Amino acid sequence: MEQEALTFRNVSAGYKQRRVLDNVSFTVKEGEFVSLIGPNGCGKSTLLKTAAALLKPLSGKVELFGQDVQHIKPAVRASLLGVVPQKIDSPMAFTVSQIVMNGRISSMGWWGTPSSLDHDLVERSMIYTDVLGLRDRFFTELSGGEQQRVALAMVLAQEPKIIMLDESISHLDINHRQEVLQILMNLNREKRMTILLVSHDLTLSAGISDRFLLMEAGTVAKAGTPAEVLEPALLSRVYDCDLTVQQDPYTGYLQVSGAIDSLRRRRKLERSVHVIAGGGSGIELYRRLLIEGYEVTSGVLNRLDSDAEAARALNIPVVLEQPFSPVGAAAIAKAMEMITNADAVVLSQVPFGSGNLVNLQLAEEALKRGKTVLLAAGIGERDYTEGKAAVDFAARLKRSGALNWHSIHELVAQLQQQLHH
């Protein structure tokens, strides 16, 4: 049976103020080539740092070849695991060959003298990664792509059993990217080296990986073969945008792409959306609706609300009311005018209290005027009114034809369907 190279058992981990990984469990078997994918900030680098014992789990356990990674001595760990980070900060003026020789330090000790084997491994790694010509240059003076190749050379010189690469091919030109991937695939096939590659190039990764781990907000949303994970509905949800997956009829390779058609088509849509928000819940809606090409209006908002500030910065017309005072008739009339001019009304994930319940009345009026009304789902968790008035209101709105939305991607699709067909 294949040995488990890397195993996360119910691992939660993160930084002082912020828990990032939430009860993550998965296994990478020895000899597998796995791509770790997921949107910016979902926790891929944090996962690698936890695997490399640079971060201690808050709970759960990380095992490297069956041993708790926290209990493995650093020198032994270096013989098992090499990490090519996103970026290396070299504090001192090291030359390229000195940096690559660092990969050997754990096996010879800080004060040890490099043996001829060490020199051979360093030389070979530099040849493989095409950095031999840079050997006497200072690392800090290299380009981003050259630095990435040197970092890989250092890890290759380390001769670990598993290599983890954190977007380490992102700066490489197409030629060097192919070469580095070829090196990784050769090591994987010929030496059964286990590879865990953080990648944003889903198409490329699909062609070279045995399996994908798809992360979403600190959890593993799905693990499986590329075909199992590259599923348009799942990807569109996790990346919160429209993605398509096609299979090349000749090679059988999967290709993931954003909707280029809709990008090319994108122009002013001549449709307007009124957003009812508050407390910062409107900012992402404003951003996405403007990018999609809608005219946006918003309100009623409290004058000091962060959404009011964002709307001002984005030139979005808003109806404002003084803070700490009930919404007055003038503001309500102004908002109603905006709603009458809008094609749709979107309610954000704003919490409701007695002070802003009037916004739900505005939505009700919008429905009466035949507007499309889209309501963020889960109002029950955001209802701070007495007697759950907002929940009752939302139920009434739904009975009158309001639609629910769960993600901005879904909201954009619903608007498209309601307003453009």
Ligand X SMILES: Nc1ncnc2c1ncn2[C@@H]1O[C@H](COP(=O)(O)OP(=O)(O)OP(=O)(O)O)[C@@H](O)[C@H]1O
Q: How far is the CB of 155 from ligand X (least distance, A)?
A: 18
Piece of 43-51, 91-99, 271-279, 325-333 that binds ligand X (CB under 6 A): 43-51
- Give yes or no for residue 43 binding ligand X (CB under 6 A): yes
Alpha-carbon gap, residue 361 to 213, rounded angstroms: 45
Q: For residue 65, is it left (φ>0), alpha (ψ between -120 and 50) or beta?
A: left
**Inter-helix orientation angle 144-158/174-190, to 10°:** 10
Of 3, 25, 41, 115, which one interacts with ligand X (CB under 6 A)? Answer: 41
Interface with ligand X, residue 45, by CB under 6 A: yes
Quick check: 214 binds ligand X (CB under 6 A)? no
88 φ/ψ angles, rounded to the nearest 5 degrees:
-105, 130
Q: Which amino acid is at 54?
A: L
Closest residue by Cα to residue 363 from 325, 391, 388, 335: 335
DSSP 132-197: GGGTTSBGGGS-HHHHHHHHHHHHHHH--SEEEEESTTTT--HHHHHHHHHHHHHHHHHS--EEEE
Burial of residue 290, with CB atoms counted within 10 A of its CB: 0-12 exposed, 13-18 middle, 19 or more buried: middle
Applying CB under 6 A, the site for ligand X has a residue count of 11
Nearest approach in angstroms of CB 238 to ligand X is: 12
Extract the tokens encoding 131: 């950095």
If one asks whether residue 18 binds ligand X (CB under 6 A), the answer comes out as yes
CA 333 to chain centre: 41
The kind and range of the H/E element at 336 are helix 329-341
Q: Which stretch binds ligand X (CB under 6 A): 41-49, 133-141, 334-342, 398-406?
A: 41-49
Question: 40 vs 251, which CB is nearer to ligand X?
Answer: 40
User: Minimum Å distance from CB 17 to ligand X?
Assistant: 6
The answer to whether the beta carbons of residues 165 and 193 sit under 8 Å apart is no
The verdict on 169 binding ligand X (CB under 6 A) reads: no
In the sheet with 403-405, reading across from the earlier edge strand, the strands are 318-321, 295-302, 272-276, 344-347, 372-376, 403-405
* Paired tokens of 333: 């009339």
Shortest Cβ 210–ligand X spacing (Å): 21
Return the number of the residue (124 or 177) whose C-beta is nearest ligand X: 177
The minimum distance between CB 171 and ligand X, in angstroms, equals 13
Q: Which stretch binds ligand X (CB under 6 A): 40-48, 112-120, 244-252, 282-290?
A: 40-48
Considering the complex, what minimum distance in angstroms separates the CB of residue 332 from ligand X?
39
Does residue 42 interact with ligand X by CB under 6 A?
yes
CB of residue 243 to ligand X, shortest distance in Å: 16
Site for ligand X (CB under 6 A): which residue of 7, 8, 34, 44? 44
Give the H/E segment covering residue 5. strand 4-14
Contact 303, 323 (CB under 8 A): yes
Q: Which is nearer to ligand X, 95 or 170 (CB)?
A: 170
Applying CB under 6 A, which of residues 2, 3, 10, 15 lies at the interface with ligand X?
A: 15
The reply to whether 24 sits near ligand X by the rule CB under 6 A is: no
| 282 in contact with ligand X (CB under 6 A) | no
Residue closer to ligand X by CB (options 216, 231) is 216
Residues numbered 372 to 401 that lie near ligand X (CB under 6 A) are: none
Q: What residues line the site for ligand X (CB under 6 A)?
A: 15, 18, 20, 38, 40-46
